[in-house]
């Protein structure tokens, strides 16, 4: 199964190179296939090797056209062969809503903004502002969003470098593509985001040319070192363990983005509900509890779903929340289920029967915890957690 998909991948890559008329790259690729298949498919490897030797090494291909200049209409650099844009540009108004961030992180980023807004003051004192930062955290917690917000705050464009597009370029070209993209970004003050910087490391486990990937890392290392103080170079990753230690050290700042805590979840629920907030007031605490362990983007997705159903009139707020809680309780431990049941009993008019049905907590247990005042019930549950 794995073999078939690998072979398909190789075939597709070969076709791509051949159709593009890149004879030299085809030869390099075939040479690599010979090495790769030598032990598993010796006959195939030998045949490929024969073809390789039979063909003159530098036959100009009639299909080959002169490469177009490495810029697109908007002046953004593109890969010669695929014409894929290597950089995406995003320009947001400075009034953009700030991402919801943990307090420490918010303060760190505020300081970074200040440093760039008051760069003259810093330089007059012989100091340089933070030039680079790496954002670390699970998916959907605001790494990309924060990069956008930072750029908007600094009133500069945000360029996002598509490392996958860089790596899909022809053999030997990814390093120069990367340099071209970064050089382009360096021309004016900006925020450049190297999104999913671990993509390079991930590819190392592939059959991809290790030398090529090493070159890419070297280019990034140099570029981080030479990055101008008037711009901010950001990198984002979900996999800090895959980042080259040499690269890791180069960044001025490491910013950790975590899954939201309960208060941030509540803020997020309010924000994502927007004008439908009023309709959900009685469910806010319950939803905030149930969304624990979710990323912001997962919370947003569920809330958008609620809002669409309400807009279309296909469900009620009560029905939506009940269904959501029912599905959610499966993943909760017993103490969390009880806490949720107590919240439902205290904050909604649902019957104990309905609550038991939704949460799977027996009516006796619900009664036991709700017969005491709220504060005591909470204490009781938390003391049980031990």
Ligand X SMILES: Nc1ncnc2c1ncn2[C@@H]1O[C@H](COP(=O)(O)OP(=O)(O)OP(=O)(O)O)[C@@H](O)[C@H]1O
CB of 63 to ligand X, least distance (A): 38
The residue of the chain with the least Cβ separation from ligand X equals: 142
Are the C-beta atoms of residues 306 and 152 closer than 8 Å to each other? no
**Closest CB to ligand X among residues 150, 171:** 150
Show the site string, 226-265: x = touches ligand X by CB under 6 A, - = not. Answer: ----------x-x---------------------------
**Closest CB to ligand X among residues 140, 175:** 140
Contact set for ligand X, span 82-101 (CB under 6 A)? 99-101
CB of 137 to Mg ion, least distance (A): 9
**Closest CB to ligand X among residues 30, 136:** 136
Find the binder of ligand X among 145, 154, 163, 286 (CB under 6 A).
Answer: 145
Residue 257's φ and ψ, nearest 5 degrees, are -105, 125
**Closest CB to Mg ion among residues 143, 328:** 143
Q: Is 142 in the site for ligand X (CB under 6 A)?
A: yes
Given ligand X, Mg ion, none, residue 141, with its beta carbon under 5 to 8 Å by kind, binds ligand X
Given Mg ion, ligand X, none, residue 175, with its beta carbon under 5 to 8 Å by kind, binds none
CB of 160 to ligand X, least distance (A): 10
Contact set for Mg ion, span 143-162 (CB under 5 A)? 143-144
Rounded to 10 deg, the angle between the 296-312 and 262-273 helix axes is 30
Q: Is 134 in the site for ligand X (CB under 6 A)?
A: no
Are the C-beta atoms of residues 185 and 85 closer than 8 Å to each other? no
Find the binder of ligand X among 82, 218, 258, 297 (CB under 6 A).
Answer: 297
**Closest CB to ligand X among residues 140, 189:** 140
Q: Is 141 in the site for ligand X (CB under 6 A)?
A: yes
Selection from 160, 230, 172, 231 nearest residue 197 by Cα: 160
**Closest CB to ligand X among residues 82, 258:** 258
Contact set for Mg ion, span 104-143 (CB under 5 A)? 143
* Cα dihedral 59→64→65→66 (10° resolution): -50
Are the C-beta atoms of residues 324 and 290 closer than 8 Å to each other? yes
**Closest CB to Mg ion among residues 48, 268:** 268
**Closest CB to ligand X among residues 143, 266:** 143
CB of 303 to ligand X, least distance (A): 10
Instruction: State the residues that interact with ligand X by CB under 6 A.
Output: 99-101, 137, 139-145, 236, 238, 296-297, 300
Instruction: State the residues that interact with Mg ion by CB under 5 A.
Output: 143-144
């Amino acid at each position: 199964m794995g073999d078939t998909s690998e072979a398909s991948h190789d075939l597709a890559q070969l076709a791509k190179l051949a159709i593009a008329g890149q004879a030299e790259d085809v030869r390099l690729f075939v040479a690599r296939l010979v090495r790769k298949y030598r032990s598993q498919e010796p006959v195939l490897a030998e045949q490929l090797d024969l073809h390789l030797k039979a063909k003159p090494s530098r036959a100009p291909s009639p299909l080959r056209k002169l490469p177009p200049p490495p810029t697109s209409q908007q002046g953004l650099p593109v890969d010669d062969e695929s014409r894929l844009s290597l950089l995406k540009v995003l320009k947001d108004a400075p009034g953009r809503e700030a991402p919801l961030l943990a307090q420490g992180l918010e303060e760190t980023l505020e300081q970074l903004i200040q440093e760039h807004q008051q760069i003259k003051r810093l330089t007059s004192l012989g100091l340089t502002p933070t030039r680079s930062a790496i954002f670390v955290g699970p998916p959907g917690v605001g790494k990309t969003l924060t990069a956008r917000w930072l750029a908007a705050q600094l009133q500069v464009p945000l360029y996002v470098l598509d490392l996958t597009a860089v790596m899909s370029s022809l053999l030997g070209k990814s390093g120069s593509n990367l340099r071209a993209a970064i050089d382009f970004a360096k021309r004016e003050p900006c925020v450049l985001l190297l999104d999913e910087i671990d993509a390079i490391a991930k590819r190392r486990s592939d059959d991809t040319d290790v030398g090529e990937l090493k070159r890419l890392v070297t280019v990034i290392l140099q570029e981080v070192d030479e990055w101008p103080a008037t711009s901010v170079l950001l990198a984002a990753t979900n996999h800090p363990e895959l980042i080259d230690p040499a690269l890791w050290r180069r960044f001025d700042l490491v910013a950790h983005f975590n899954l939201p805590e309960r208060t941030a979840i509540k803020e997020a629920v309010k924000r994502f509900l927007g004008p439908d907030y009023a309709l959900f007031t009685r469910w806010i605490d319950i939803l905030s509890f149930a969304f624990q362990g979710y990323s912001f983007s997962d919370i947003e997705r569920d809330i958008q779903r609620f809002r669409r159903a309400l807009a279309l009139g296909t469900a009620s707020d009560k029905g939506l929340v009940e269904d959501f809680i029912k599905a959610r309780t499966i993943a909760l431990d017993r103490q969390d289920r009880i806490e949720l049941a107590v919240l439902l009993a205290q904050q909604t008019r649902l019957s104990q029967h309905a609550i038991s049905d939704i949460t799977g907590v027996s009516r006796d247990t619900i009664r036991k915890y709700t017969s005491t005042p709220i504060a005591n019930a909470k204490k009781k549950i938390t003391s049980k957690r031990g």
